[in-house]
C-alpha cells in the first residue's frame, strides 16, 4: 500500500492531523505513523521536540520515535534505511504507512530514494579525534582550506557536518558538493500533503508553542538529560530549545539567562520555519493546505482533502 505523507513547517499541526486521519480511517484500514522529525528519534527528548505523548497516541503504532540515545549521532542515511524498512513492513501488513514530519532531508531522502556517498569509519574517527583536539572553529578552518564552497554553507558550530564534509573530501578527492546524495526516482509515489499557515498566525503559534514548552518543563528535561550525555551528543545537542537551555544553564540559569533562552528558541524556530518553507515549496508534488483557520469545520475540510488526495494516489 502506498504511504501517505504529511509535511510542512514546525507548528502547523502535522502530528495532530496524522492522528485525526488515523481515527477517521479506524475500522476501515489500520494506520501506522512513521516519524520524520530528526530530534524525535531521541529517547527523553519529548517536550522540546513536540513529541506526541504516549497517552495521546490513541493506540496508534508510531515508528522512528525513541530509537536513539542522546549520545548517538542521527544520520539521514541511517534514518532512510530504518524508516524505509518500517514503511515496507507496515504496507506488507495491509496497513497504511503515514509519514509525518518536517525534517527536510529526512523526508526527501526517504521519498526519493537518495543514494549517499561512501563512508570510511577510520577516516571519520581521525577527523573526530581532530575535532576533540582543536574544537569546531579550527576544524571548520581546515574545511575552508580544503573545500571553501562546503565551508561557506556549513555553519561554524556544526561540527558533525564539518567532519562529514572532510571525510567525504578525503575519500573522494573531490569537493563535498560533487559527492552530494544522488536523488533517485520517487520510491512509492506517495500522496504528499503540505500544511502551512499565514506567517503572522504561525509566528503567534510558535511563540505560544515555545512558552508552553518552557512551562511544561523543558528546562527540567534538559537537566535530566545532561547526565545521559546530551551535551556530548553531536546531533542531539543542536536541537532547538535544548541548545539554548544548555547555554542558559552554563550562564548560571538566572531569570535573565532563561528568558534569553526562551527568546532565542522562538527566534531560531522562526528561522528554521523559513528554511522548511523554502525547501518544501520546491517540490511540485506537494498539495498544500491552509491550516491558518482552526475551526472544527475547517479541520474537517482538511481531513477530507487529505483523504481525497490519498485515495486518488492509491
Residues forming the annotated binding site for ATP?
8-15
Q: Based on C-alpha coordinates, what's the Rg of the chain?
A: 20
Closest CA to 266 of 208, 194, 193, 198: 208
Q: Could you identify the residue written with the cell 496508534?
A: 60
Residue ranges at the known binding site:
8-15
- 3-state SS of the chain? CCCEEEECCCCCCHHHHHHHHHHHHCCCCCEEEEECCHHHHECCCCCCCCCCCHHHCCCCCEECCCCECCCCCCCHHHHHHHHHHHHHHHHHCCCEEEEECCCHHHHHHHHCCCECCCCCHHHHHHHHHHHHHHCHHHHHHHHHHHCHHHHHHCCCCCHHHHHHHHHHHHHHCCCHHHHCCECCCCCCCCEEEEEECCHHHHHHHHHHHHHHHHHHCHHHHHHHHHHHCHHHCCCHHHCCCHHHHHHHHHCCCCHHHHHHHHHHHHHHHHHHHHHHHHHHCCCCCCEEEECCCCCHHHHHHHHHHHHHHHHHHC
CB 314 within 8 A of CB 190: no
C-alpha cell at 201: 498566525
Bridge partners of 288? 194
Q: Rounded CA gap, 209 and 15, in Å?
A: 14
* Residues making up the binding site for substrate: 10-15
Amino acid at each position: 500500500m502506498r504511504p501517505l505523507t504529511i509535511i510542512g513547517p514546525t507548528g502547523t499541526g502535522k502530528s495532530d492531523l496524522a492522528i485525526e486521519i488515523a481515527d477517521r480511517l479506524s475500522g476501515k484500514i489500520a494506520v501506522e505513523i512513521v516519524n520524520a522529525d530528526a530530534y524525535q528519534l531521541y529517547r527523553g527528548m519529548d517536550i522540546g521536540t513536540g513529541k506526541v505523548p504516549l497517552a495521546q497516541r490513541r493506540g496508534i503504532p508510531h515508528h522512528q520515535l525513541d530509537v536513539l540515545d542522546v549520545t548517538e549521532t542521527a544520520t539521514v542515511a541511517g534514518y532512510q534505511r530504518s524508516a524505509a524498512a518500517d514503511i515496507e513492513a507496515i504496507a506488507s501488513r495491509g496497513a497504511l504507512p503515514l509519514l509525518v514530519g518536517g525534517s527536510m532531508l529526512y523526508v526527501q531522502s526517504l521519498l526519493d530514494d537518495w543514494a549517499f556517498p561512501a563512508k570510511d569509519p577510520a577516516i571519520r574517527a581521525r577527523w573526530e579525534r581532530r575535532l576533540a583536539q582543536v574544537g569546531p572553529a579550527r576544524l571548520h578552518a581546515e574545511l575552508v582550506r580544503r573545500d571553501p564552497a562546503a565551508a561557506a554553507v556549513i555553519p561554524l558550530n556544526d561540527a558533525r557536518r564539518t567532519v562529514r564534509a572532510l571525510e567525504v573530501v578525503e575519500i573522494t578527492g573531490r569537493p563535498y558538493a560533487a559527492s552530494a546524495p544522488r536523488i533517485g526516482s520517487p520510491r512509492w509515489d506517495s500522496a504528499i500533503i503540505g500544511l502551512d499557515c499565514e506567517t503572522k498566525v504561525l509566528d503567534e503559534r510558535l511563540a505560544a508553542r515555545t512558552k508552553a514548552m518552557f512551562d511544561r518543563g523543558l528546562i527540567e528535561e534538559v537537566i535530566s538529560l545532561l547526565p545521559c550525555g546530551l551535551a556530548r551528543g553531536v546531533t542531539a545537542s543542536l536541537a532547538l530549545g535544548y541548545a539554548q537551555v544548555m547555554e542558559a544553564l552554563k550562564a548560571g540559569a538566572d531569570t535573565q539567562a532563561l528568558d534569553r533562552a526562551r527568546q532565542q528558541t522562538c527566534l531560531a524556530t522562526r528561522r528554521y520555519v523559513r528554511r522548511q518553507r523554502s525547501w518544501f515549496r520546491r517540490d511540485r508534488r506537494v498539495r498544500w493546505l491552509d491550516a491558518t483557520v482552526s475551526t472544527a469545520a475547517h479541520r474537517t475540510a482538511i481531513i477530507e482533502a487529505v483523504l481525497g488526495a490519498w485515495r486518488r494516489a492509491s
